[in-house]
Structure 1
């Protein structure tokens, strides 16, 4: 393909919470840059993942799931989504193959069409590895009926990788011609502190009850560089420095603090171990992770506390 045909632009995934948007972002980028969880409302920031191909560059904006808000935090998360709609070239509506289309999905389509009437809309049936071919075909038809004949509808599995490259091609064709926005090899423009905080949140949410996803916030207090204990690596070269990361996990009540810490601190230790492995994988350097849990009473409803926690 000639250089003049190189295409680049911005893509936003929308859908109810937990429809596979973050997992799909990671599959397209080829690396973990968006946190995933079985809990709704896991994503808190609009993380940009960058997809590099010979003929195109796609910048994926991974937003929180659009929902009817119950708190000030929920309203601010929705505002993030709305701001994104007006800035992208394509909006992709994600519907899982194993869940029937419902009022929430129709509400999101209405919202998208009101806020971004001229933006290209693409339908994605996610999680096709969870059901049989007949069910996938029925869901594709249902989604096509919802969006109308002018919208392309594509089935994908982020887990197995099935149809992921087809989706890349469809999105690339919908982009305007133009140069790449980011240098080759760059996977996200998120600051390292934000990625670290999100990965710690993900580790803390694993296996916890429904109330905590909304009540848990993570702030990176300090990052310092220390000489690695192994000053000389096996290759004979100086080992890269170790990063000491100090993070605070905020909850709203003392009962939640006890849940996060666990008996004798066992759960918090497990959170630290799992988060450290993920952070080391992304940054490519050794991490010492120091976690503490604090109470910020009703922070989701307090404008001052929301601002201090990065919302």
Structure 2
């Protein structure tokens, strides 16, 4: 399955239908959230709003986050989704490959945000209906009994970085997309930009946002600069001229992986 939802995915509480269209307009994909963003007492209204939005949003750019498998809410969530044209779900707190059976017939973004989910991420990624994996830092730390995913300097703790890498590797090993976790410090656009740029360089297909103000920074991070595009094109032209095998270009040894990096730059620029 080709991932066409990124690079900016914006969460929107499903009980705030007045925000649906605005969130969709400001992002590449809107995630209508029936899970953590909605208080227990408001979930019924959220499902009703979701069902009523069937003609409001583009199904190709809409994801619905449903509650975890094993909760009473999931059956109700799926009944509401069935009334809409939306066919891509985000499964909260995905923890095993078998849980994907409950979402047969849907494309699924599996949210690996518990210790069990991270450890089973490769098995989850292997499922045919899984479009991609996302990891979640705060729920992960909570599942471990911790108190914060970041240190006092704002950097991820080692266990969070381990989980981030494991989910990325699990997704990549099965040709699935990986989505980077949200950045919860909304005013800190500089920190968000640095983290998004690292996500791009590491291979994440997209980054999730929790506020519309974050979308521009994520998009800018995923959009290659004119210099990067020019350099990538020149490198690929040099490779074509050199023929097969390793060659030298501007003092660098160039081989297959370096050429694939250049091709990735052009794809993100829409020129490949």
TM-score above 0.5: no
Between Structure 1 and Structure 2, which shows a larger proportion of helix residues?
2
**Larger CA Rg, structure 1 vs 2:** 1
TM-score (norm 1): 0.28
Between Structure 1 and Structure 2, which shows a larger proportion of strand residues?
1
TM-score (norm 2): 0.31
